[in-house]
Amino acid sequence: MGVKERKERDRQEMRDQILKSAHQLFLEKGFDQISIRNIAEAIEYSPATIYLYFKDKNEIVHALHQDGFKLLNQHFQPLAKFEQPFERLKEMGKAYIKFATENPGVYELMFMRSEPMEHVSDCLDEEWREGDRAFEFLVETVAQCQSQGYFKGLHPHSFSMMIWSFIHGLCSLRISQHLGHVKGARESKISLDDIMTTTYATFSQALEKLKG
Amino acid sequence: MGVKERKERDRQEMRDQILKSAHQLFLEKGFDQISIRNIAEAIEYSPATIYLYFKDKNEIVHALHQDGFKLLNQHFQPLAKFEQPFERLKEMGKAYIKFATENPGVYELMFMRSEPMEHVSDCLDEEWREGDRAFEFLVETVAQCQSQGYFKGLHPHSFSMMIWSFIHGLCSLRISQHLGHVKGARESKISLDDIMTTTYATFSQALEKLKG
Amino acid sequence: MGVKERKERDRQEMRDQILKSAHQLFLEKGFDQISIRNIAEAIEYSPATIYLYFKDKNEIVHALHQDGFKLLNQHFQPLAKFEQPFERLKEMGKAYIKFATENPGVYELMFMRSEPMEHVSDCLDEEWREGDRAFEFLVETVAQCQSQGYFKGLHPHSFSMMIWSFIHGLCSLRISQHLGHVKGARESKISLDDIMTTTYATFSQALEKLKG
Amino acid sequence: MGVKERKERDRQEMRDQILKSAHQLFLEKGFDQISIRNIAEAIEYSPATIYLYFKDKNEIVHALHQDGFKLLNQHFQPLAKFEQPFERLKEMGKAYIKFATENPGVYELMFMRSEPMEHVSDCLDEEWREGDRAFEFLVETVAQCQSQGYFKGLHPHSFSMMIWSFIHGLCSLRISQHLGHVKGARESKISLDDIMTTTYATFSQALEKLKG
DNA sequence: AATGAATGAGCTTTCATTCAT
DNA sequence: GATGAATGAAAGCTCATTCAT
């Protein structure tokens, strides 16, 4: 009995290792520098081996895509403990930034490229469950904020879109290396993290002012 | 003397023609679909000819990058006529969206990819002049808004960063095809343009509320 | 003792099952579409298992080759009942056509490819017994026809070769899909079976005229 | 002026060289052992170079296919001088055999494989002109034989099909190496050429007897 | 006896780039 | 000034085969 289970576990471990390597390569080399051969080299296996665990390159990308959303939701999980919705909202932003900053390659894959979307768009809605969950969490939190007097008169869905746009913009500018090239940031030696923190703080202040 | 100058002029014309074609291709195909052969075919010259005018593919990308910023500034030019800074600010957003929507390939190249940045970062600050101009225009406008009572107590540079993050986030989500996949948008048949308009309107409303 | 024999029997059964699946695959897919994996999948065993029963792919092909000849002879078996040799000869042709048409993949393997031959040529004459039987049956029938006044003055072995060439030509043209591409057949919508029947009938008529 | 022409000639020579090598490889290795890499190696160029002269592998196969038919017709050309149709018919057979024997690889490609057919079948009828010409030449010759009293009462098209089947059968058995394995031929040390000659002679005799 | 895991060698194809002409 | 010709390097992928378990 144990044998079968161990095999299954080994198999899963190998899949994970492959995905982890791909993940790592995204980080180092960027989305289109990734190749089956690259991954194979990284895990020190032959390219053919990859195909024992994934049907094709697409399936790898797909898996990373889904794993990415799961991971994002994991970053959101601890936020439930914040009872004040506005507090929670602000923490969500921080968690999102943390996720993007720590997993730039996967973030790129999830939100900054159109290629994966073309494949994924054929999929069942089911595939989007994790992605939906994340967004719904945001919408709910916004709605709760409104019931406490924030963002009065604004549509919660649209306002959530706005928030997401901002935070995605900030994260993606960082990942695409544009953050450090803005006039002002370029000259002074401010760290990228500081820029993000400052910008996010500004956004938070603005949100705060939208109360009442 | 005249000969030398004419030659130089011819050379510049050829460079422009190549860039124009590349720009056009970006419009149709997107960043990774572009190739030297593609461009050569479009201008009806041989691939080898391109190398007479550009050292390598990077140099083309680089040039497009710079031209892109010029083009963006051209979109901003007519905004000078808006005397009310807040009006001007809102129009800037629209102009930015227009630029991004009409030149998705170039936008992708300018703001959504890290590869070009890596090459550009070695360059002189001089290279960034056009980019800086665009951002400074935003900062100035924000500052003028503040002198009229908007965004009180917020740092103009940071607030500009926030605005840019938002608008870039919105545009890049559209270009990367993610806009249509958000829960809600996916089911209803809202057009992407409508989503952008709505989200931007929400943002404008929010900004408006930050007066006083 | 019994154990050893049972094992041997089991082994033989497995070999047969593998061959049967391969045969089936040939029927559906044709010579080059076949792979060890294909066969393994069909018998629901792992590819590695196949190597327990056959040294390599060649050995499988070889075995199919031999089985093919057995099957061909089985098609000939019922012909013994035709007492008139010329009738029997004509029925042999029909039986051959039936065999080829119903087992195109195996026919291809047996008669249309050189690869298998290269391996087989090292083999003992013994290996050819079944093949020889089939041809000898033809030669005998021809000889009997001659004793009834047909094909006078023609060498039976050569005449048999001639007959085989014709019938093989007809069958192989069909299997290689050339039959439908001849001028005339291509335009009209005659079925391949009709072309074969007609051509064979013409041949029969010609043979008939060679009497006396 | 001469430059352009020379270039064109060089280009044609290269194409020919590639085709010749492919032709040669067919001969040595058989149809499916052929690969772009193989050909490239044979002509001592890089694989990529092949793609400068042919769009893809298919185009090479296609070209060989067409060239083959042209070559076959060239073998038929000198036969016009035979005024007696029956003589011409017999010479046609010999010419066909000569063509097949000297170009086994191409013959295999032209008549013994189904893969090329699948691609070619989509083509215009125009593509088949050369093939049609060859077959029509046969039908005409048969018809002329009939006007001289041969093959009375037989349909010329069907009878031509019969002749082609025979001669193709004979040639293809030789090419697929089956000719030497027939009982009788195997034991005695008769050369393959002798077998072919003898079998063809027997066929000729039979045809002769179909007069009157 | 059976197999999961692994791989080397092979495939077709594309592309940025160089260089002799 | 322009290019046809050539290529090295890389891509995704498949398959027959081996071997430890």
Which of B140-144, C208-212, D77-81 is predicted with the least confidence, judged by mean pLDDT? C208-212
Q: Angle D150-C194-D204 (CA atoms, 0-180°, nearest 5)?
A: 30
Q: Do B178 and A117 touch (CB under 8 A)?
A: yes
H or E element: which one contains C159? helix C156-175
Q: In the numeric block, which tokens belong to residue B94?
A: 């629209």
Which of B54-68, B174-188, D5-19 is predicted with the least confidence, judged by mean pLDDT? B174-188
User: Measuring CA to CA, which residue among D146, D166, D157, D159 is closest to residue D211?
Assistant: D146
Question: Is C76:C93 a contact under the CB 8 Å cutoff?
Answer: no
- DSSP-based three-state secondary structure for D150: strand
E21: residue with closest CA to C1': D3
Nearest by CB to residue D169, choosing from C120, C168, C177, is C168
Q: Do B183 and A117 touch (CB under 8 A)?
A: no
Q: Give per-residue pLDDT as tens, A157-169.
A: 999 999 999 999 9
CA gap C159, C138 in Å, rounded: 10
pLDDT computed for residue D189 by the predictor: 80
pLDDT computed for residue B125 by the predictor: 59
Furthest C-alpha separation in chain D: 64
Q: Does any CB of chain C come closer than 8 Å to the CB of residue D126?
A: no
User: Measuring CA to CA, which residue among A160, A132, A129, A136 is closest to residue A146?
Assistant: A160
Taking the stretch 23-62 of protein chain B, residues with Cβ within 7 Å of any atom in nucleic acid chain F are 45-49, 51-52
- Other chains touching D, judged by 3 or more CB pairs under 8 Å: C
- State the average pLDDT over residues B144-150: 95
pLDDT computed for residue A29 by the predictor: 79
Q: In the numeric block, which tokens belong to residue D75?
A: 């073998």
pLDDT computed for residue A123 by the predictor: 59
How much of chain C exceeds pLDDT 90, in percent? 67
CA gap B80, B38 in Å, rounded: 38
| Residue B161 to residues A187, B118, B157, Cα–Cα distance (Å) | 16, 21, 6
Q: Does any CB of chain A come closer than 8 Å to the CB of residue B172?
A: yes
pLDDT computed for residue A53 by the predictor: 96
CA gap C183, D21 in Å, rounded: 31
Q: State the first-to-last Cα distance of chain A, in angstroms, to the nearest integer.
A: 63
Position B101 confidence tier, pLDDT thresholds 50, 70, 90: very high
Give alpha helix (H) positions in D54-153.
57-76, 85-102, 104-107, 115-120, 129-146
CA gap D136, D116 in Å, rounded: 22
Which of A119-128, B20-29, C194-203 is predicted with the least confidence, judged by mean pLDDT? A119-128
- State the average pLDDT over residues A187-210: 93
Position C1 confidence tier, pLDDT thresholds 50, 70, 90: low
CA gap B131, B135 in Å, rounded: 7
Q: In the numeric block, which tokens belong to residue B153?
A: 């107590």
Position C186 confidence tier, pLDDT thresholds 50, 70, 90: confident
Measure A37 CA to nearest chain B CA, in Å. Answer: 19
CA gap B132, B90 in Å, rounded: 20
pLDDT computed for residue A30 by the predictor: 76
pLDDT computed for residue C126 by the predictor: 61
CA A182, A188, A193, A198 dihedral sign is negative
Q: Residue D175 pLDDT > 80, yes or no?
A: yes
Q: Residue A126 pLDDT > 80, yes or no?
A: no
Q: Do B121 and A202 touch (CB under 8 A)?
A: no
Position B77 confidence tier, pLDDT thresholds 50, 70, 90: very high
Comparing D212 with B14, the larger pLDDT belongs to: B14
- State the average pLDDT over residues D71-97: 96
Q: Does any CB of chain A come closer than 8 Å to the CB of residue B122?
A: no
Q: In the numeric block, which tokens belong to residue C38?
A: 């294909």
| Residue B144 to residues A198, B80, B147, B150, B158, Cα–Cα distance (Å) | 21, 13, 5, 9, 15
- Among A162, A192, A193, A194, the strongest candidate for a mutation testing the B interface, having the largest count of B CBs within 10 A, is A162
Of the segments B2-6, C59-63, D160-164, which one has the largest average pLDDT value? D160-164
CA gap B16, B37 in Å, rounded: 17
Nearest CA in chain B to A158: B199
How much of chain A exceeds pLDDT 70, in percent? 93
Residues of A in contact with B203 (CB under 8 A): 162, 165
Position B117 confidence tier, pLDDT thresholds 50, 70, 90: confident
Which domains are present in chain C? 1-54 (1.10.10.60), 57-210 (1.10.357.10)
Of the segments A64-68, B73-77, D62-66, which one has the largest average pLDDT value? B73-77
pLDDT computed for residue A124 by the predictor: 57
What is the pTM (predicted TM-score) of this model? 0.88
CA gap A39, B71 in Å, rounded: 40
DSSP letter for D154, please. Answer: S
Position D84 confidence tier, pLDDT thresholds 50, 70, 90: very high
Position C57 confidence tier, pLDDT thresholds 50, 70, 90: very high
pLDDT computed for residue A187 by the predictor: 77
Q: Does any CB of chain C come closer than 8 Å to the CB of residue D206?
A: yes
- DSSP-based three-state secondary structure for B211: strand
Q: Does any CB of chain A come closer than 8 Å to the CB of residue B121?
A: yes
Give alpha helix (H) positions in C30-128.
36-43, 47-53, 57-76, 85-102, 104-107, 115-120
pLDDT computed for residue B122 by the predictor: 59
CA gap C115, D28 in Å, rounded: 12
Position D122 confidence tier, pLDDT thresholds 50, 70, 90: low
Measure D97 CA to nearest chain C CA, in Å. Answer: 13
pLDDT computed for residue B17 by the predictor: 93
Measure D10 CA to nearest chain C CA, in Å. Answer: 35
Residues of D in contact with C186 (CB under 8 A): 125, 128
- Among D35, D202, D208, D210, the strongest candidate for a mutation testing the C interface, having the largest count of C CBs within 10 A, is D202
DSSP letter for A33, please. Answer: G
Please, which residues have CB within 8 angstroms of residue C132's CB and are 6 or more apart in sequence?
D183
pLDDT computed for residue C7 by the predictor: 83
- Among B133, B150, B178, B179, the strongest candidate for a mutation testing the A interface, having the largest count of A CBs within 10 A, is B178
Please, which residues have CB within 8 angstroms of residue A132's CB and are 6 or more apart in sequence?
B183
Q: Give per-residue pLDDT as tens, C85-125.
A: 999 999 999 999 999 999 998 999 999 988 777 766 555 55
- State the average pLDDT over residues D18-47: 90
pLDDT computed for residue B116 by the predictor: 75
Comparing A32 with D135, the larger pLDDT belongs to: D135
Position B124 confidence tier, pLDDT thresholds 50, 70, 90: low
Q: Residue D120 pLDDT > 70, yes or no?
A: no
| Residue A137 to residues A159, A168, B186, D16, Cα–Cα distance (Å) | 13, 16, 17, 67
pLDDT computed for residue D150 by the predictor: 94
Question: Is A81:A91 a contact under the CB 8 Å cutoff?
Answer: no
CA gap D84, D90 in Å, rounded: 10
Q: Do C112 and D172 touch (CB under 8 A)?
A: yes
Nearest by CB to residue D155, choosing from C177, C195, C202, is C202
Question: Is A45:A21 a contact under the CB 8 Å cutoff?
Answer: no
Q: Do C183 and D135 touch (CB under 8 A)?
A: yes
- State the average pLDDT over residues C48-67: 93
**Which residue type sits at B18?**
I
Nearest by CB to residue C157, choosing from D162, D184, D201, is D184
Residues of C in contact with D151 (CB under 8 A): 206
- State the average pLDDT over residues B132-157: 95
Q: Give per-residue pLDDT as tens, C121-172.
A: 555 556 678 899 999 999 999 999 999 999 998 999 999 999 999 999 999 9
- State the average pLDDT over residues C57-74: 92
Read out DSSP for B75-107?
HHGGGGG--SHHHHHHHHHHHHHHHHHH-HHHH
Nearest CA in chain D to C132: D183
Measure B38 CA to nearest chain A CA, in Å. Answer: 19
Nearest CA in chain B to A176: B114
Q: Do C117 and D176 touch (CB under 8 A)?
A: yes
- Among C31, C110, C166, the strongest candidate for a mutation testing the D interface, having the largest count of D CBs within 10 A, is C166
Q: Give per-residue pLDDT as tens, D93-112.
A: 999 999 999 998 889 989 99
Q: Residue A202 pLDDT > 60, yes or no?
A: yes
Q: In the numeric block, which tokens belong to residue B185?
A: 């948008």
pLDDT computed for residue D142 by the predictor: 97
Chains A and B touch (3+ CB pairs under 8 A): yes
Q: Which nucleotide is nearest to D51 (CA to C1')?
A: E13
Please state, rounded to an integer, the average pLDDT across all residues of chain A. 90
Nearest by CB to residue A205, choosing from B113, B120, B154, is B154
| Residue B191 to residues A124, B96, B187, C56, Cα–Cα distance (Å) | 21, 19, 11, 60
Q: In the numeric block, which tokens belong to residue B192?
A: 């992407």
Q: Residue D49 pLDDT > 90, yes or no?
A: yes
pLDDT computed for residue B188 by the predictor: 79
Q: Give per-residue pLDDT as tens, D140-163.
A: 999 999 999 999 889 999 999 999
Please, which residues have CB within 8 angstroms of residue B110's CB and are 6 or more apart in sequence?
B65, B68, B69, B72, B116
What residues form DSSP beta bridges with A150? Answer: A211
pLDDT computed for residue D123 by the predictor: 59
**Which residue type sits at D21?**
S
Give alpha helix (H) positions in A30-155.
36-43, 47-53, 57-76, 85-102, 104-107, 115-120, 129-146
- DSSP-based three-state secondary structure for D113: coil
Measured in degrees and rounded to the nearest 5, phi and psi for residue A211 equal: -90, 145
Which of B11-15, B18-22, B184-188, C129-133 is predicted with the least confidence, judged by mean pLDDT? B184-188
Question: Is B206:A206 a contact under the CB 8 Å cutoff?
Answer: yes
Q: Residue D18 pLDDT > 80, yes or no?
A: yes
Footprint of strand E on the protein (CB under 7 A): A 7, 10-11, 14, 45-49, 51-52; B 34-37, 47-48, 51, 56-58; C 7, 14, 45-49, 51-52; D 34-38, 47-48, 51, 56-58
Residues of A in contact with B153 (CB under 8 A): 205
Q: Does any CB of chain C come closer than 8 Å to the CB of residue D73?
A: no
Q: Which nucleotide is nearest to A51 (CA to C1')?
A: F13
